[in-house]
Structure 1
Amino acid sequence: MKPEPAPAPIPVPPLSGPVPGADADPDADRSIVRRLWDVFRREPMLLVTCSYLFVSIVGLWDLYWFYRGFDIPILEFLQSSDYFVAGLRRPAYAGLLAWTLLVAALSIWPQRWRMRHPERAARLDRRWWFRAFFPRRGDWWAYFGLHPETTATLTALVVMAMMLFHQSDSRADAIRAGGGNAVQVEDGRGRIAGDWRMLGTSSAYVFLWDPAEQRALVLPVESIAGIRPLASGIVAAAPGAAPPASPSGEGPR
């Protein structure tokens, strides 16, 4: 009798083959902001560099809108070194950076609460006030089709830019109306006549404004012999002019 042939072995898929669900990308639901933050956590010096760059850009944005109120093309008067220190002139820029990160973190807190309490969120979704303060990710009116973290970060940046524009415009309006720091400026020939207000400086220029004549003056640093701050509301008399009258209306004795 011929021996019966052995049954064919059942093919077993190799262990290295694809496994159902193994091709799912664990980072598919992670926002661009979260991925960028993961890079910063691995490279702390990159976070420091990008933060410094961000503060410098904020400083340039503020300078542009401030000097634009005096018709001074400030970017044409800045040296290369001024671009790197533009964000260090006002400590408020660093505070704005911290504010942006804080607001972005707080604005995504409702979405994180939903992820941690899915059962409670499903029960409360039937109430309108809950959907207003704890919107779902698919709500277009809340996140505009973007990831909540991305939407929160972009919104914080836009609001910060608007706040800077409003603040710069308000400062310029106050100086044009006669506010600001009054100074007396002297060059090699003597005092420069005018009711000058100090706008700011760069590495090569000094920027002044005369609210009485509504004109700006840009002086090279090397041409200035001295700048003397004056008390608020006090304007030095021009050379050869009579001294101002006293508050009681009497002249000098």
Structure 2
Amino acid sequence: MSVVSRLRDVFRREPMLLVTCSYLFVSVVGLWDLYWFYRGFDIPILEFLQSSDYFVAGLRRPAYAGLLAWTLLVAALSIWPQRWRMRHPERAARLDGRWWFRVAFPRRGDWWAYFGLHPETMATLTALAVMAMLLFHHGGSRALSIRAGGGNPVQVEGSRGSIDGDWRMLGTSSAYVFLWEPAQQRALVLPVESIAGIQPGGGIPAAAGEGGATPSSPAGDQGR
């Protein structure tokens, strides 16, 4: 039996273990996505996360649960040719001499298909690798779009007045708010307690002489 088959048997005996492992998997996926997204703004996101943020990282976007389902589906579809061989050994033996059949229905011993691993293990590892690459590409694309001026504009009210700039909201953690200003290509990390309010669709606030005020340290010193 492959490692995947053994895990499947364990999950059948202990359904709650499947729920726990799925939750941990989604959390790891969320952290992986956050890391590559904030890396595009030179923000070491892992240093700003609290312990509670690690557990809810995968719950911020429902797409992570979809990725888990996609991984399981792709792994199941990938091993279908091997299962067909096991169920129809005589037909598979007759068709093994044809090259197109060997490409579509490789044997377990074909090194170019499974690299010496069990088909189920190889299918699962391949699905995980593809998912990791998709998250890396998606996080980088989101970061590039916001750096170029996309994203959600916000107006931030600090404890000392409005923070001047055309800010974009990157995200939040339990203790910090992460902002980006495309014009000056700078990031700003503000503690939650230093923020009086955030107005969506902000734009550039009024100048300091018109009622706005540019905050000084410590809030301003949190920038990149």
- TM-score where L is the length of structure 1: 0.81
1:111-148 superposed Cα distances (whole Å, 9 cap, x missing partner): 00000001111111111111111001110000000000
Is 1:160 aligned with 2:160? Answer: no
Q: Distance in 2 between matches of 1:237 and 1:180?
A: 21
- Which runs of 5 or more residues in structure 2 are unaligned? 211-224
1:146-205 superposed Cα distances (whole Å, 9 cap, x missing partner): 000000000000000000000000000000000000000011111000110000000000
Residue 237 of structure 1: how far off its partner (Å): 4.2
Q: Identity of counterpart residues, as a percentage?
A: 85
Is 1:69 aligned with 2:28? Answer: no
Counterpart code for 1:179? G
- TM-score where L is the length of structure 2: 0.92
Kept after mapping to 1: 8 A contact 2:154/2:167: yes
SS in 1 for 2:154: strand
Match 1:197 to one of 150, 168, 181: 168
Is 1:124 aligned with 2:91? Answer: no
Query: Counterpart of 2:70?
Result: 99
Query: Counterpart of 2:207?
Result: 238
Kept after mapping to 1: 8 A contact 2:163/2:205: no
SS in 2 for 1:76: helix
Kept after mapping to 1: 8 A contact 2:164/2:204: no
Q: Distance in 1 between matches of 2:208 and 2:73?
A: 54
1:35-60 superposed Cα distances (whole Å, 9 cap, x missing partner): 01100000000000000000000000
Query: Counterpart of 1:244?
Result: none
Residue 236 of structure 1: how far off its partner (Å): 3.7
SS in 1 for 2:129: helix
Is 1:177 aligned with 2:144? Answer: no
Q: Which structure carries more helix by proportion?
A: 2
Q: Distance in 1 between matches of 2:65 and 2:207?
A: 41
Q: Distance in 2 between matches of 1:161 and 1:95?
A: 14
Q: Distance in 1 between matches of 2:113 and 2:209?
A: 67
Aligned-residue Cα RMSD (Å) equals 1.1
Counterpart code for 1:55? V
Q: Distance in 2 between matches of 1:235 and 1:193?
A: 6
Kept after mapping to 2: 8 A contact 1:187/1:225: yes
Counterpart code for 2:36? W
Q: Distance in 2 between matches of 1:219 and 1:75?
A: 15
Query: Counterpart of 1:112?
Result: 83
Kept after mapping to 2: 8 A contact 1:182/1:235: no
Greater CA radius of gyration, 1 or 2?
A: 1
Is 1:139 aligned with 2:110? Answer: yes
Q: Distance in 2 between matches of 1:127 and 1:236?
A: 70
* Divergent runs of 4+, >3 A: 234-241
Residue 240 of structure 1: how far off its partner (Å): 4.0
Query: Counterpart of 1:26?
Result: none
SS in 1 for 2:188: strand
Kept after mapping to 1: 8 A contact 2:162/2:205: no
